[in-house]
Amino acid sequence: MQINIIGVPIDLGADRRGVDMGPSAIRYAGLQKKLEDLGYTVQDEGNIEVPIAEKCTIKNPKLKYLDCIVPMSRRVSGAVSTSIQRGNFPLVIGGDHSLSIGSVRGAARNKKIGVIWFDAHADFNTDKTTPSGNIHGMSLAALTGYGDKSLVQLWDETIPVIDPNKIAIVGARDLDPGEKDNLRNANALVLSMEQIDRYGMVAMMEKAIAHVSRDVDGIYFSFDLDALDPQFAPGVGTPVPAQTVGQVH
């Protein structure tokens, strides 16, 4: 199976600028060669076109840069879907987590998938609960049918894209009050960093995999670097310091 590297240099979903340089940094660190050394065939598909913030406007402070993020998400969705249709494995690198609105949707086109969301945040806010208006914090909610119609639908497709009972959020340690209510209403599985400290990462990942793998065609793994302590991954949009030594490791 060929791996397709798809870059999404976006920082429109967060207030902190700079994560749009992520795809270049990861490539510069030797991603393709490291994968090839493991025996994989790799094709770098380049970057999805993403406008810079200076070319976009904020019409709604509760949905910042919506008019730029929606068409970008459609392009990401198309690239991921095409990769899978060709029998390849799409490896999407960003970029803030708003890119997942498109990438997960592309992976789920005509398929039933489960999602493991490894993140310090649940990204389960909507325009009604967000304290910041940043769309990277709404991505998983939108994929499960919660939030603004523009994000939930993108275009006329099955809603929701992901069954809330087929997601597992792993490593969460920074949730907003309204977001917690949304998660309870969705009956989503949240495995906090405290639970990882208590039971171990292996046990929690096994639980997550078992939860999302029932009656699905595949599993999408989304890894946000802010799940790591900032001393190891400082260049993220919303760094969250670990609270214990165990969380650091």
For the whole model, what pTM was predicted? Answer: 0.94
Quick: pLDDT tens for 100-138. 999 999 999 989 999 999 999 999 999 999 999 999 999
Report the topology of domain 2-248: Arginase; Chain A (3.40.800)
Whether 247 shows a pLDDT value over 70: the answer reads: no
Which long-range contacts (C-beta less than 8 Å, at least 24 apart) are formed by 236-242?
236/16, 236/19, 237/11, 237/13, 237/14, 237/15, 237/16, 237/19, 237/96, 237/97, 237/136, 238/14, 238/16, 238/120, 238/121, 238/136, 238/137, 238/174, 240/120, 240/121, 240/173, 240/174, 242/173, 242/193
